Amino acid sequence: MKIGIIGSGAIGTYYGAKLAHAGNDVHFLMRGDLDDVRREGIFVRGEGENFRVEKVSCHSSTKEIGPCDLVVIAVKSTSNLEIVDRVPPLLHERTMLLTLQNGLGNEEFFAEHFGADHILGGLCFIAITRKSHTEVDRTAHGDIVLGEFNRPAQPRTRELAAIFERAHIRCHLRDDLALERWRKLIWNIPFNGLSIVAGGVDTRFILANEHLREGTLDLMKEVIAAANKCGHALSKDAWRKHIEWTEAMGPYKPSTLTDWESGKPLEIEAIWGEPVRRATAAGAQMPRTEMLYVLLKQLDRKRRPE
């Protein structure tokens, strides 16, 4: 299987390197880090793994890569419009387009441009940091939840899961991708948002602070209620596993906080805006999430007035 990776941040670099290390034909689309990766390769470090992909197939354009069997979209959702014109050279009739992005609306976006039959979605439950152009460190987990857009798992989904498993990437198939998107928002909405509005704090600080912990639990329960109102059945105590996982993780800076600190655009619409809009359309209220949405937009507007 020929695999194209669009997005060479922490997620794209990590999973692309894992797939390449397992012997798959992986091609990375890269920009400023192209020369460094060609010269030094990619280093992956984490509990139970420490390896280097020495010879990396990296390219400056999708035309150089050509048609692929699998295209992994690992850019931030804020870059979706930028990459639309770059995707077509990677496609053939049966190409799978897998988005490993946060929030809601990404599958719909790519389905509108390239057809729903091509689209799959994946949710990454992982704590990972890109230390440099050539290095990524994994500090917790590494699982992927994988599903088809608007339909149950297909034979190709199971084949793809097997490829990930052979690359030592734990993969869980789900028939309801939309439900899993809401499940991950239980974590993403509070921790990504509070880490910024509380002044640049990590997950351990949030859980150790009485008021921030209470706010986190309130937000999590609000997300669960909204998901159920939208027709996605999450149990009332679905928040518990997220808290347990985060407590075991140790101090970790959520990806949105690292984007904030490096001056990058924030995935405000995908993580906070779209859930609020869908909940409102279904007759639900998400006042705490909406407050985070407003605050983050205001902070981002002050930082990037253009």
For position 305, what pLDDT does the model report? 59
- Expressed as residue numbers, the domain containing 259 is 179-303
Select from 206, 208, 231, 235 the least CA-distant residue to 221: 235
207, 193 contact by CB (below 8 A): no
Q: Do residues 71 and 107 both lie within one domain?
A: yes
For position 295, what pLDDT does the model report? 97
Active site residues: 184
Q: Do residues 64 and 140 both lie within one domain?
A: yes
Q: 259 to each of 52, 80, 174, 205, how far by Cα in Å?
A: 26, 16, 29, 19
Residue 26's region, left for phi above 0, alpha for psi from -120 to 50, else beta, is beta
3 state DSSP class of 139: strand
Pairing of strands 25-29, 119-132: unpaired
Last residue of a domain, one of 175, 204, 227: 175
Q: Do residues 219 and 145 both lie within one domain?
A: no
Q: Do residues 187 and 171 both lie within one domain?
A: no
- The per-residue pLDDT string of the chain (306 residues; one tens digit each, 9 = 90 and over) reads 999 999 988 999 999 999 999 999 999 999 878 889 999 999 999 888 999 999 999 999 999 999 999 999 999 999 999 999 999 999 999 999 999 999 999 999 999 999 999 999 999 988 888 888 899 999 877 789 999 999 999 999 999 999 999 999 999 999 999 999 999 999 999 999 999 999 999 999 999 999 999 999 999 999 999 999 999 999 999 999 999 999 988 899 999 999 999 898 899 999 999 999 999 999 999 999 999 999 999 999 888 755
Last residue of a domain, one of 133, 154, 175: 175
For residue 56, the domain's CATH number is 3.40.50.720
Select from 108, 112, 111, 183 the least CA-distant residue to 145: 183
212, 153 contact by CB (below 8 A): no
For position 306, what pLDDT does the model report? 56
Q: Do residues 26 and 155 both lie within one domain?
A: yes
Give the separation between CA 119 and CA 178, rounded to whole angstroms: 13
For position 229, what pLDDT does the model report? 97
DSSP H or E stretch at residue 138: strand 135-148
Q: Do residues 127 and 228 both lie within one domain?
A: no
Pairing of strands 135-148, 119-132: antiparallel
Whether pTM exceeds 0.85: yes
Q: Do residues 212 and 225 both lie within one domain?
A: yes
For residue 202, the domain's CATH number is 1.10.1040.10
Give the separation between CA 154 and CA 98, rounded to whole angstroms: 14
Q: Do residues 143 and 190 both lie within one domain?
A: no
Q: Do residues 235 and 269 both lie within one domain?
A: yes
Last residue of a domain, one of 142, 175, 208: 175
C-alpha angle with apex 179: 173 to 183, nearest 5 degrees?
95
Q: 196 to each of 76, 87, 168, 299, how far by Cα in Å?
A: 17, 32, 33, 9
The total of structural domains in the chain comes to 2
Give the separation between CA 254 and CA 207, rounded to whole angstroms: 13
For position 243, what pLDDT does the model report? 96
